[in-house]
Amino acid sequence: MATFKIDPMHSEITFKVKHLMITNVTGSFQQFDATLVAEAEDFSDAKINFEAAIDSISTNNEQRDTHLKSDDFFAAATYPTLSFVSTSFTHKSGSEYALKGDLTIKGTTKSVELGVDFGGRMTDFYGQDKAGFEITGKINRSEFGLTWSAVTEAGGVVVSDEIKLNMAVQMVKQA
């Protein structure tokens, strides 16, 4: 059985949401942790746990970030983390996998499925065994209690319900 931990220096946890339905706002989490445990070399039996600190959310706009941490959105004071626990990691073909699991945001847990592109394994300059993954998916923010909404004077929606997830993750095998 091998255990891998996320390498935060070489990983990005990002999301995009439509603003005014005409452009995307990109955000990220700066503090996160993940563990992957697997016996199979191709990770087909992987068990994955992930957690991100809500207070570390960044959209490169302090006022917006403060609003996202408020009770209108993530309620960071009450729910300081979001988490994901895998229920399956299934090899589809080539480097493609389907990752299913339970995502918990703001005290609400829903089953989600994410697409994974396994980038391969490599030994770095320091002799560390690393594995790379690109993870993508979509969630509906209102299903997790992130229901704040506003309408423009013209009747347009300010923030979309659909959130696109995009994670570039490098995992390091633990000794």
Write the pLDDT tens digit of every residue in 85-143.
999 999 999 999 999 999 999 999 999 999 999 999 999 999 999 999 999 999 988 88
Name beta bridge partners: 38.
2
The stretch 153-172 carries a mean pLDDT of: 78
What is the tally of structural domains in the chain?
1
Alpha carbons 101 and 114: distance in angstroms, whole number: 9
Query: Which distant-in-sequence residues (6+ apart) come within 8 Å of 4 by Cβ?
Result: 35, 36, 37, 38, 131, 171, 172, 173, 174
CATH assignment of the domain containing 66: 2.40.128.110
| Cα 73 from chain centre | 16
Q: Compute the C-alpha angle 23/136/78, nearest 5°.
A: 80
- Residue 123's nearest CA partner among 65, 77, 170 is 170
- Residue 130's nearest CA partner among 146, 119, 141, 139 is 119
Cα four-point dihedral sign 122, 124, 127, 132:
negative
pLDDT at 130: 96
- Residue 104 structural domain: 2-173
Residue that is written with structure tokens 């918990």 in the block: 104
pLDDT at 41: 86
pLDDT tens figures, 6-61: 999 999 999 988 765 667 788 999 999 999 999 998 899 999 999 999 999 999 98
Percent of the chain at pLDDT > 70 equals 90
| Confidence grade of residue 159 (pLDDT, cut at 50, 70, 90) | low
